[in-house]
Amino acid sequence: MDNAAWLMIDQAVRMVAGLMVGVWAARYLGPEQYGWLSYAAAVVGTVGAFTSLGLNAVVVRELVRSPAAANPWMGAAFFLKSIGAGAGFLICVGVALVQPMPAVSVRPLIIIVALGLLFQTLDIFDLFFQSRSESRVSALVRIVACVLSNLIKAVLIFAHASLLALAVAGVIEIALSAAGWWWAGRKSGLGFSRFHFDWDYARTLLLESWPLAVSGLAIYSQAYADQVVIGSMLGGSELGQYAVAMRLVSVFGFLPMVVQTVAAPEITRAKRDDERLYQRRLHGLYRLMFGLFLLTGLPLIVLGPLAIKFLYGASYAAAAGLLPWLAFRLFFTNFGVARSIFITNESLFKFALLTALVGAGLNILLSVLLVPRWGARGAIVSSFASFGATTFALEVFQPRARLNLFLMARAVFLPWRRFAE
């Protein structure tokens, strides 16, 4: 079974298990408590996007380019990720204790969710398997962690557990994944004892990835600023409605990630060997991403409201009106994920940083202006404007990125034609 099949199985299992238990948890908690859990996840995710240092794409690229140097690259990545995770946790604790919170229950929620940052350092083993196109290992680790953690959540709901207990169950899933990565790494002969820290490798990673770290913060802020603004200005109940609609949209967000994981090594090799082949594969990737949007976004627009009423019940009726609009985010998500491969192979990290910062600033500004007037729909308008600027409009200002804009536009407006034609 090839890599794409394993990744599809992994995502399908996690999607089904997560959706079933996630729907149950949302109905059990109600819009307000579910909204505050989403608020805590957005705050921690924003901090973690920066403190992860943007290393993942660079590490995979270097492992593909020089597999013989896996130990020093992995040792440097583990050292940097450990420092970043510790700093991220402390920042989250500081935010929870010092900053004013929209509700009392949010403080402990943020601290609990932030514990997951400490376990994510072992994701470096996943990067190793990605570089070797051994997706079966990664898939099995994630499937086992997902199934076990969702069983724990189901037991907690049966026992009428608190919101904080369900937050702990989410951290347990990350911890189980970390244990799985460690075990899989040892079985592959890549345990901690073989890691070799070399400051030259660490410096190379930092110099290459620091724009990605800042852009990661900007991208995550761009994606989740709307939830923070809604929670702060409109309260947990309104955020719960918005988060439920986003949850159904994100169910299909795994597809571009699967495609990216499989395609990235092949596109990197094409860039190394043949520029024309590299461009053809990029264009083919964009065509595929547009097709995925048509296959997933259009059904959500038409049938999504009925699905929300059936799955989540009457208490989430407002989410049904938001879903058709939020479904268009899949278009920007698909192309943004694919564009990251181009950015990595062209080493346009500073340009990516600039576009991400502009997009994040635009989203935050428009959200603050529009959410008080239009509610959650104001956040949707803000996100569309910011994603459009980041993914497409700003490519015009970078000469090397104009070709990428052409490839994306051709994939949208002439999807039936191959680039070689």
Does residue 418 lie in a domain region?
no
Does residue 78 lie in a domain region?
yes
Contact yes or no for 21/172 (Cβ under 8 A): no
Does residue 421 lie in a domain region?
no
Would you tell me how many other CB atoms lie within 10 Å of the CB of residue 310?
A: 11
The whole domain housing 203 covers 3-413
Condensed to tens digits (0 to 9), the pLDDT of residues 224-281 reads 888 888 888 888 888 889 988 888 888 787 788 878 877 888 888 888 788 888 888 8
The number of distinct structural domains making up the chain is 1
Contact yes or no for 242/230 (Cβ under 8 A): yes
Of 90-99, 125-134, 189-198, 208-217, least confident by mean pLDDT is 189-198
> What whole-number distance in Å separates Cα of residue 220 and Cα of residue 214?
10
- Asked whether residue 53 carries a pLDDT value surpassing 70, the answer given is no
Mean pLDDT calculated for residue range 401-416: 84
> What whole-number distance in Å separates Cα of residue 283 and Cα of residue 404?
8
Does residue 369 lie in a domain region?
yes
Does residue 419 lie in a domain region?
no
Mention every residue, 6+ apart, whose C-beta is less than 8 A from residue 252.
Answer: 296, 297, 300, 330
Mean pLDDT calculated for residue range 39-51: 83
Does residue 300 lie in a domain region?
yes
The one-letter amino acid code at 13 reads V
